[in-house]
Amino acid sequence: MEYVLFAIIAYLLGSIPSALIVGKVGYNIDIREHGSGNLGGTNTFRVLGIKAGIIVTLADILKGTVATVIPLLFDADVYRLAIGIFAVIGHTYPVFARFKGGKAVATSGGIILGVNPILFGIMVLTFLLTLKISKYVSLSSMITGVVSFIVSIFIGDIGLMIVIGVLTLFVIYRHLANIKRIINKTEPKIKWM
């Protein structure tokens, strides 16, 4: 029963459409009608700028972190990473935004932050370094997932390795269109780094 309760809470947390809220409240813009139409940090950066992009990215990370920390507050006997996955599902298929959300990168990072801050730090450094070199957010996201999976092998936590493996495959799946654009050299590059 605990799993069901915390999974529902995590899903609802993940479903909070940060990009939609920031766009409408701060800019009077429905971000779903601009750029890629995606409710994530990358589209927010492109459409609304750096400040809004940072706010949305941090909010999306926080959704995953809070989802994994809440069970601790109640001393619940649940595997917190498993609960965190429901926040990722909520972010990707949000009940509050017609089940069309983001690509799960920031929220996936957020659940790792909630259970292993050092690994999260490695993820952030990997992402920023890859982004500086490639200028592709999508490619940086996928490489970060792969590197995180490799690092999790050395950590030796089987559960962590499985969850990161699943999340990495999911992130890659969500970026299939981006992969095609990268190959065709039509994927947009960032200009602010």
The DSSP-derived string for 7-59 is HHHHHHHHT--HHHHHHHHHHS--GGGSTT---SHHHHHHHH-HHHHHHHHHH
Note the pLDDT of residue 132.
Answer: 95
**pTM (predicted TM-score):** 0.93
SS3 185: coil
> Can you give the residue ranges of every domain in the chain?
2-183
Rounded to 10 deg, the angle between the 137-155 and 117-134 helix axes is 150
Note the pLDDT of residue 36.
Answer: 86
| CA count, 13 A, side-chain hemisphere, 20 | 18
Tens of pLDDT, residues 15-74: 999 999 999 999 999 999 998 888 999 999 999 999 999 999 999 999 999 999 999 999
Residue type for position 186:
T
CB atoms within 10 A of CB 45: 21
Q: What percent of the chain has pLDDT over 70?
A: 100
For residue 125, what are its two tokens?
Answer: 């450094």
DSSP 86-151: HHHHHHHS-GGGTT----SHHHHHHHHHHH-HHHHHHHHHHHHHHHHHH--HHHHHHHHHHHHHHH
pLDDT at 6 over 80: yes
Contact 119, 156 (CB under 8 A): no
Distance CA 8, CA 106 (A): 20
Contact 105, 171 (CB under 8 A): yes
Contact 124, 187 (CB under 8 A): no
Tens of pLDDT, residues 98-156: 999 999 899 999 999 999 999 999 999 999 999 999 999 999 999 999 999 999 999 98
Give me the chain's average pLDDT, please: 94
